[in-house]
Copies of this chain bind each other. A is one copy, B any other.
Amino acid sequence: MFDAAMAELSEKGFAGTNLEKIAGRAGVALSTLYRRWGNLTGLLQDLVDELTLDLSPPDSGSLDGDLAALGRLILRLHRHPVHRPWMDAVTAAAVHDPAARAVLSRTIMARIQRAAGVVEAAVARGEIPADTDAEDVIRMLAAPFYYRMYVSGEPLTDDLPERVAGAVAAAVRAGTLRRTAP
């Protein structure tokens, strides 16, 4: 089913496919898909949730090392044979389609929260200020990768994880990216 969904998405994009076409391609009853997923975005959410991606946070012992490892993880996702087309399809659709935007946002926010553990670990080690905004640190780290992929259209080079991690870790050690008063 996921194979048929990805093939449809790759060929036609989010706007050009639907559960009926995916059912036809997979050779299963449309009612089965409706019962299980309800709609295309439900299937897309399940698809990315079921990819066997190793998203466990790194534990290198330093903030620089952990942020660089997270950067390398983003590079791996960018080169993943299923995750990459999934991400492309959902990102393109999310610009104009609220349902696709909800799937993308939910997925990314869950990853930000999970990755934020490396910042909390650095706080616990006394490496950085206690009121560092852990999720904002992860956003600063991830953003330059996605900016190159989807905005400037530049390649993701192998030195990018260390480079961006070094900059973000230095910013945090200098006391920026603190939590603001609610």
What is the interface of chain A, defined by CB distance below 8 A to chain B?
Answer: 13, 15, 88, 91-96, 101-102, 104-105, 108-109, 112, 136, 139-140, 142-144, 146-148, 150-154, 159, 163-164, 166-168, 170-177, 180
Contacts and interface: CB of A to CB of B under 8 A. Distances in A.
Chain A binding surface SS class: helix
Contacts of A170: 170-171, 174-176
A147 B154 contact: no
A131 to B, nearest CB: 14
12 contacts: A13-B15, A13-B96, A91-B150, A92-B92, A95-B150, A109-B152, A142-B151, A143-B151, A147-B147, A167-B172, A170-B175, A171-B171
Contact of A140 (B104, B109, B144): B144
A108 B153 CA distance: 9
A166 B96 CA distance: 32
